[in-house]
Chains A and B, each alone.
Chain A
């Protein structure tokens, strides 16, 4: 079950945070996403220590808390995508697919000429697409 997805911009400013569980405190997700930014920064500046390849956009599991796991994805334009999930067994390929589709939806949202780069993403179509991607996350594929 995906708890939250977030898009963070180049200056670490939040562009989009959406939570998908009812009754949860949204501020908690803001904190989690904010903490993950530090982990991303560490991974980017020390690639050899943390083991991730220099050329990889998908950063993998950033850090597990007691309830959640956080996955990260970094684009060439330094925009970060974060995925907070409550699942205990999540396949790597599922997360990669999720981020691939999420990246496509993000590019489409940014291509909107009425979107101001650096400001929050307020497109309803983007929100719906993200909702659809989240719903189909983890669905068994044949």
Chain B
């Protein structure tokens, strides 16, 4: 870098984060605290630069989108064989990303044909986050939704992905659901192929 990054800029945060070494170099595990710290910094950085909640969610989703694209490349590299099925059809359970992260929890939505859901008890990113009441229904899971969106877009299934809190009786914290709504062209392609 030609000039030293200013304090508080995202580049500075990234360079500081680059100093966070994996605990165990062989298995490349990063500590949860380090990730939580980095994520909280990211949320705070965006919070000071937006005017409303929707824009904050949009920014987090945009951040996750880039991660999703790159994760797709990485997962494809680690997976030895090339599976053609994932290119053409909507058989999401066979999608490498869904297999890697959410083995069985991809469900089909009941309302519409084009909606799928991934349901988690508690998202990793939300573990250390409590949303103040005046922010309404804001969910930092927008970041994870962005990751999923990036993976789907990168493999040719454009979709709208959002994260929602779903209150469940008997549990203090609500479950988080990631809603995937595929776009028209994906459905048409699916109808053509099947």
* Contacting residues, chain B, for A78 (C-beta < 8 A): 87
* Contacting residues, chain A, for B31 (C-beta < 8 A): none
* Contacting residues, chain A, for B84 (C-beta < 8 A): 54-55
A74–B82 CB distance below 8 A: yes
B108 within 8 A of A: no
Q: What does DSSP make chain B's interface, helix, strand, loop or mixed?
A: helix
Q: How far is the CB of B157 from the nearest CB of chain A, in Å?
A: 12
Task: Say which residue of A57, A79, A110, A113 sits within 8 Å of B81 (CB atoms).
Answer: A57
B82–A77 CB distance below 8 A: no
A76–B70 CB distance below 8 A: no
B83 within 8 A of A: yes
B154–A77 CB distance below 8 A: yes
B77–A104 CB distance below 8 A: yes
Q: What does DSSP make chain A's interface, helix, strand, loop or mixed?
A: loop
A side interface size, CB within 8 A: 18
A35 within 8 A of B: no
B174 within 8 A of A: no
**Chain A, 40-67, contact with B by CB distance < 8 Å: what is the 0/1 string?**
0000000000000011110000000000
A76–B86 CB distance below 8 A: yes
Question: Can you list 12 residue pairs at the A/B interface with Cβ under 8 Å?
Answer: A54-B84, A55-B83, A57-B80, A75-B76, A76-B79, A76-B86, A77-B76, A78-B87, A79-B73, A104-B77, A110-B73, A117-B154
